[in-house]
Amino acid sequence: MAKSTTGKWVSRVGSSGGGKAYKKTRPSNFYGILVVIVVLGLAATILARYDYQHPASAATGPAPAVGTTWFAAVSVEACGETLPYLKTDPTNAGGLKILTDNVLQISPVNAADSGNHATLAQFGAEFPGLVLSSSELAIPSPAGVANANTTYRNGEACPASSKYPKKLGQVEYAYWTSFSQKTPKITTNPSSIKLTQYLRVTMAFDPKGVVPTAPSATSVNAMVSYEASLSTTTTTSVSSSTLATTTTLKVTTPSAKSTTTTTKATTTTSSKG
């Protein structure tokens, strides 16, 4: 049977490796794909190298990060009267803990108390027996258990012996974010107060319209002192090496003085002769 015209055309195309149009387009498509692959490969390599050389940039997030150490000052007020300082706990391994003079140390240890989770509400959750909510303020006993005498709820009346006798109180939180801030911001939501360096905050139960008093000057001075001590510790580490060098120089100085004394003694003897 004779081959059809179509069959002959297919055979010729097959033997030649494609038509003229195919031959013209194949090189440009092929090399274009190669160029794209090379470019993507280089970009991936450069990005991987940057991430390797800058590992901190990948971990950057809201402050305070784990490893940060800040200090704040706190106070507790009920019916216009400042309550005793919160109890310190040297064994507390948490990231938010009370030091002497009502200084709050902010040293996040994990995701729960770092970044945007470092709030006044989180401090309340980490302090045994302390309850901070929009409707209740409960200050625990020194043993860390609930204390009815220092538990306050919205709508309760202040004691007759207080600054505001028999007036109905409400739970609120006043805070100052800088030393220059005179009037505090007041909120009923402790979760909205982000813990920052040099923050001052008063947890209060007062009649409506009463502006809580800021933490005492003693607490503020202690807060600044803790920060200064932290900076001094770093400086002392550097100074120690300097002192070591100075000590080495002092060892040489007495020797030089000794030689000078001997020379003078010899000179004196020669003059007498």
- Rounded to two decimals, what is the model's pTM? 0.65
Are 234 and 82 spatial neighbours (Cβ–Cβ below 8 Å)? no
Is residue 25's pLDDT more than 90?
A: no
Average pLDDT rounded to a whole number, residues 132-140: 98
How many Å apart are CA 205 and CA 149, to the nearest integer? 13
The closest of 216, 134, 109 to 124, measured between CA atoms, is 134
Least confident of 101-110, 150-159, 258-267: 258-267
| Whole-number Cα distances in Å, 125 to 71, 89, 111, 132, 244 | 18, 15, 14, 8, 46
Are 196 and 72 spatial neighbours (Cβ–Cβ below 8 Å)? yes
CA atoms within 13 A on the CB side of 257: 6
* Strand 200-207 to 70-78 pairing: parallel
Is residue 151's pLDDT more than 50?
A: yes
Cβ neighbours for 78, distance < 8 A, ≥ 6 positions apart = 137, 150, 152, 158, 162, 169, 204, 205, 206
Are 132 and 190 spatial neighbours (Cβ–Cβ below 8 Å)? yes
Query: Could you read off the pLDDT of 232-267 as tens digits, one per residue?
Result: 654 434 343 333 333 333 333 334 343 443 434 433
Are 211 and 75 spatial neighbours (Cβ–Cβ below 8 Å)? no
Average pLDDT, the chain: 79
Please indicate whether residue 154 or residue 40 has the higher confidence score (pLDDT).
Answer: 154
The closest of 104, 96, 107, 98 to 67, measured between CA atoms, is 107
Is residue 19's pLDDT more than 60?
A: no
Is residue 65's pLDDT more than 80?
A: yes
Average pLDDT rounded to a whole number, residues 185-201: 98
pLDDT of residue 138: 98
How many Å apart are CA 158 and CA 213, to the nearest integer? 17
The closest of 269, 84, 76, 114 to 195, measured between CA atoms, is 114
Is residue 140's pLDDT more than 60?
A: yes
